[in-house]
C-alpha cells in the first residue's frame, strides 16, 4: 500500500468483489418472497379452423386473458415475461406446445390486467390432428431479475376443446 | 506513508467498504429499492476512496528516519563478512 496507484487498485478490486456479493445476496433474497399469482383464460370465439394447403391444421381463436401477477414482483425484478401456450398430445408427439400470445410486463402496476385479443402467433399443428382435440392453455411466466437467478413457473388451465369439423 | 500508515489505510479501506455494503443492503432491502442500495454503496465507495487513497498526514505519524546523504558518506558501508563454519570431521 505504498503508492497512490497501489491503494487505488486494491480499493477498486475489493469494492467490485463486495458488489458481486451484494448482488448475490440480493438475488438469494428473492427466494423468500411470497408469490400468489392467479390467471384465467376464456376462449370467446373460434374465428376459423382450416386445413392449410400443405396439410397442417390451423385455428384462430379470440382469447380473453385475465391475470394478476403483481405478487411476482420483488425489489430485484426488472420485468416479467408472460406467455400463453396451447398444450396438447398427438400420436406423433407426446407434448405439443404452441405459443399463442406473450407480453413483457415492466412494472408491478401493469401486472394486474385483462386483455381480449385474437392469438398473436399462429396456432398451426404439425399435421392434421386438431379436430376434436382437447388441449390445455398454460400461462407461463419468467421473472427476470435485476441481478441473479431468473424464476419461471406456470398455471395450467385445462378443459378446452376444438370443434370436430373444420369451419 | 509509513509502514503503520499503510497498514491503517488497508484496514480502514476493508472495514469502510464492508460497512458501506451492509448499510446499503439493509436500507435497500427494507425500502424495497434496488436503486437506493446501489446509490448508498457507490457513495460509500467514494467516501472510502477519499479517506484511504490520498496520502493524508495522519498516515505518516510514525515516519521512518532516513539517513541524511551527507552523513552516509562519512560512514562507509560495512563489508559483508563471509563466515563459514565447517564441521570438524572426527575420524
Assembly ipTM: 0.78
Interface of A with B (CB under 8 A): 1-2, 4, 7-8, 10-11, 14-15, 18-19, 21-22, 25-26, 29, 74-76, 146
Range of the domain at A43: 34-161
Q: How many CB atoms lie within 10 A of CB A70?
A: 19
- In this structure, are A40 and A25 located in the same domain? no
CA of residue A134 relative to chain centroid, distance: 22
For residue A135, the cross-strand partners are A160
Are both A111 and A153 inside the same structural domain?
A: yes
| Predicted pLDDT at B90 | 57
For residue A167, tell me if it sits in a domain: no
Helix or strand (DSSP H, E) at A41: strand A38-51
Residues A7 and A57 occupy one common structural domain = no
The pLDDT value recorded for residue B30 is: 92
Number of domains in chain A: 2
Task: Label residue B87 by pLDDT band (50, 70, 90).
Answer: low
Residue-level pLDDT at B74: 74
Same domain as A68, residue A9: no
Instruction: Indicate which CATH number applies to the domain containing A76.
Output: 2.60.40
* Contact present, A164 and A46 (Cβ < 8 Å): no
Min CA distance, B39 vs chain A (Å)? 12
Do A27 and A40 belong together in one domain? Answer: no
pTM: 0.79
Q: Please indicate, yes or no, whether residues A71 and A4 belong to a single structural domain of this protein.
A: no
**Is A86 found in the same domain as A23?**
no
Over the stretch B3-13, which tens digit does the pLDDT of each residue have?
888 888 999 99
Do A57 and A128 fall into the same domain? Answer: yes
Which residues of chain A does B37 touch, with a Cβ-Cβ cutoff of 8 Å? 22, 26
**How much is the pLDDT for B89?**
60
Give the containing element (helix H, strand E) for A21.
helix A4-29
In a domain, A60, yes or no: yes
Eight-state DSSP code of residue A81: E
Cell of B75: 560512514
Mean pLDDT of chain A, nearest integer? 92
* Per-residue pLDDT tens digits for A67-101: 999 999 999 999 999 999 999 999 988 999 999 99
Whether A129 maps to a domain, the answer reads: yes
Q: Are residues A50 and A80 in the same domain?
A: yes
Q: What is the DSSP string of A115-164?
A: EEEE-SS-EE-SSS--TT-EEEEEEEEEEEESSS--EEEEEEEEEEE--S
Q: Are residues A49 and A21 in the same domain?
A: no
Distances (CA, A) of A115 to A111, A118, A161: 12, 10, 21
Residue whose entry in the numeric block shows the C-alpha cell 425500502: B31
- Residue B53's nearest CA partner among B3, B4, B8 is B8
Q: What pLDDT, on a 0 to 100 scale, did the predictor assign at position B85?
A: 66
Residue A75 lies in a domain: yes
Pairing of strands A38-51, A112-118: unpaired
Q: Does the residue A74 lie in any domain?
A: yes
Residue A130 phi, psi (nearest 5) = -85, -10
**Domain definitions of chain B by residue range:** 1-53
Amino acid at each position: 500500500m505504498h503508492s497512490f496507484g497501489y491503494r487505488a487498485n486494491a480499493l477498486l478490486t475489493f469494492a467490485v468483489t463486495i458488489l458481486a456479493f451484494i448482488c448475490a445476496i440480493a438475488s438469494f433474497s428473492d427466494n423468500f418472497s411470497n408469490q400468489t399469482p392467479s390467471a384465467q383464460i376464456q376462449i370467446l370465439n373460434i374465428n376459423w379452423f382450416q386445413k392449410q394447403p400443405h396439410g397442417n391444421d390451423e385455428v384462430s381463436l379470440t382469447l380473453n386473458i385475465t391475470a394478476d401477477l403483481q405478487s411476482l414482483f420483488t425489489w430485484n425484478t426488472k420485468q416479467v415475461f408472460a406467455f400463453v401456450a396451447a398444450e396438447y398430445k398427438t400420436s406423433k408427439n407426446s407434448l405439443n406446445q404452441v405459443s399463442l400470445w406473450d407480453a413483457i410486463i415492466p412494472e408491478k402496476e401493469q401486472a394486474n390486467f385483462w386483455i381480449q385479443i385474437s392469438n398473436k402467433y399462429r396456432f398451426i399443428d404439425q399435421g392434421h390432428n386438431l379436430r376434436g382435440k382437447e388441449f390445455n392453455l398454460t400461462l407461463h411466466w419468467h421473472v427476470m431479475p435485476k441481478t441473479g437467478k431468473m424464476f419461471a413457473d406456470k398455471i395450467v388451465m385445462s378443459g378446452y376443446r376444438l370443434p370436430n369439423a373444420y369451419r | 506513508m509509513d509502514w503503520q500508515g499503510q497498514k491503517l489505510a488497508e484496514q480502514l479501506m476493508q472495514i469502510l467498504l464492508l460497512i458501506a455494503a451492509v448499510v446499503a443492503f439493509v436500507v435497500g432491502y427494507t425500502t424495497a429499492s434496488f436503486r437506493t442500495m446501489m446509490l448508498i454503496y457507490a457513495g460509500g465507495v467514494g467516501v472510502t476512496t477519499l479517506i484511504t487513497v490520498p496520502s493524508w498526514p495522519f498516515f505518516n505519524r510514525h515516519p521512518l528516519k532516513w539517513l541524511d546523504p551527507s552523513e552516509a558518506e562519512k560512514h562507509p558501508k560495512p563489508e559483508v563478512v563471509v563466515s563459514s563454519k565447517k564441521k570438524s570431521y572426527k575420524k
